[in-house]
Amino acid sequence: MESVIQAIDTAKSRVQWYPTGKPEIEAAVIAYSDILKAEGAMDFADITLQAVREINSDAMPPLSIRWLLVDEAQDMDEVQLEWVKAHGSRGVEITLVGDDDQSLYTFRHALGYPGLKRISEHLSSAMLPLPVNYRCAENILDHAVKLINHNKERAHKEIESARKVTGEVTVLRLSDRWSEADEIAARIQSTRLSEQWAVLARTNRILDHVEIAFTDIGLPYYRVGGKSVWDKTVGSTYLGLLRTVCDRSWTGVSNALFFAGMDSAVVNKLSDIQGPTCHDRLDQIVTKLDQLGGTESDISLISNLRRGLRAWEDQELKGRSSLVAHAVAAWLADRMTEEQASLLHRLEGILCKLNGRLVNRLMHTSSRTAKPGDGTAIMTLHAAKGLEFDNVWILGAEEGNLPHTDSSPEEERRLFYVGMTRAKSCLTISSASDEGQVSRFLKESGLINSTNDM
């Protein structure tokens, strides 16, 4: 499905569609277009694409305007660029505002510097550099500029800081990702609560470690643009099964069965069986499972979970909530990867540290985050674009992660540059030895002399 979605996005980012060479993908793209036509519907990309085609064929007039200002112009795809060109060719005065060093969306078909050059040449435009950075301390900006200068295909600009002050720059190397996350939480906790912090990483998966470390010590935070770890697969399955212990609802059981490997079609059939509590439903299921397409493994799984639920409920009635949190985690840990189990172990530890009955502990997890601006911002480097913070911590600076293997070194370098230039006064960059060699970007930015130094 992901390949189909990417193919549709690619097709709609171009004025002319080019065959992929994969008949099944092309058939899906055509089928999607046929469905939209049959429903009389359009997606956003269709609106822009149709407008370009109709303006260029004189079937539609351009906007009746004298001036057009295009912001973030480095992020235009081919269709958007052609829309701007169509207006410029018909006498509209165009102003493009963009920074090719902050072009981060090649995966969304953004044209970046080549696109800016192409439209500038078409419009015979004059370039007005804006080289002064009003955000970063001088030394933070100097390191960022050293890094981005390694990209050869970029607009020449002499970037300088308006703030002639020296900021704090720190590079750390920790043993593993959990140690890195715990160090971030401890250092930020030791600073004044009034200080503004942001923690940035290449992926949301890495940020899960930071969120857990913050929750563990009660440090306020908010996540931007990504799900909380408690709402992802491991966290939601764990919490769901614990809620079932409290209220005997079915949802936690069905999610746990699916997580443990039961076929989704079988789980859906089981969910159709009705009963006042999950126990009544499980009692019926045990006698009917072979009729519903369940395997011997499914029968064993159901029986195991059924016994577990009885035992967990009994312990909760005796006020042994921490024991229940541990037992449910152990049941799930036997059915997940080592990485997932490591994550689950930290979630279990957080619940076991809390006081009160299990239902009260679960309520605590649902009110864990601060309002935006009231705690540390936790987000990906992509989500941080356009923002600024007094203090920025970038974690996961290892080869294979930053730069990531899924993207080009040039785009990853721009991403790291954007992350560095979010910091106004303090920049900390960390990596974990267990995750690989320290990123080449630290050497390129002059933060270390050699990647073997750490």
Q: How many distinct structural domains can be found in the chain?
A: 3
From 128, 156, 171, the end of a domain falls on 128
Q: Are residues 350 and 243 in the same domain?
A: yes
In a domain, 452, yes or no: no
Q: Are residues 306 and 404 in the same domain?
A: no
Q: Are residues 109 and 181 in the same domain?
A: no
In a domain, 342, yes or no: yes
Q: Are residues 440 and 353 in the same domain?
A: no
Q: Are residues 382 and 360 in the same domain?
A: no
In a domain, 454, yes or no: no
From 365, 384, 410, the end of a domain falls on 365
Residue-level pLDDT at 18 = 63
Q: Are residues 264 and 177 in the same domain?
A: no
pLDDT, tens digit (0-9, with 9 covering 90-100), for 90-111:
999 999 999 999 999 998 899 9
pLDDT-based confidence at 298, cuts 50/70/90?
A: confident
Q: Are residues 337 and 294 in the same domain?
A: yes
**pTM as predicted:** 0.88
Q: Are residues 244 and 355 in the same domain?
A: yes
pLDDT, tens digit (0-9, with 9 covering 90-100), for 28-53:
878 888 898 888 888 888 888 889 99
Nearest to 238, CA basis, from 230, 226, 247: 230
Furthest-apart CA atoms within the chain: distance in Å: 79
Amino acid at residue number 88:
G
Q: Are residues 122 and 72 in the same domain?
A: yes
pLDDT-based confidence at 20, cuts 50/70/90?
A: low
In a domain, 133, yes or no: no
pLDDT-based confidence at 78, cuts 50/70/90?
A: very high
Residue-level pLDDT at 374 = 81
Q: Are residues 113 and 32 in the same domain?
A: yes
Domain that holds residue 334: 230-365
Average pLDDT rounded to a whole number, residues 216-245:
93
Question: Is beta strand 389-394 parallel, antiparallel or unpaired with respect to 197-201?
Answer: parallel
Q: Are residues 4 and 124 in the same domain?
A: yes
Q: Are residues 350 and 424 in the same domain?
A: no
Are 240 and 217 in contact, with CB atoms under 8 Å apart? no
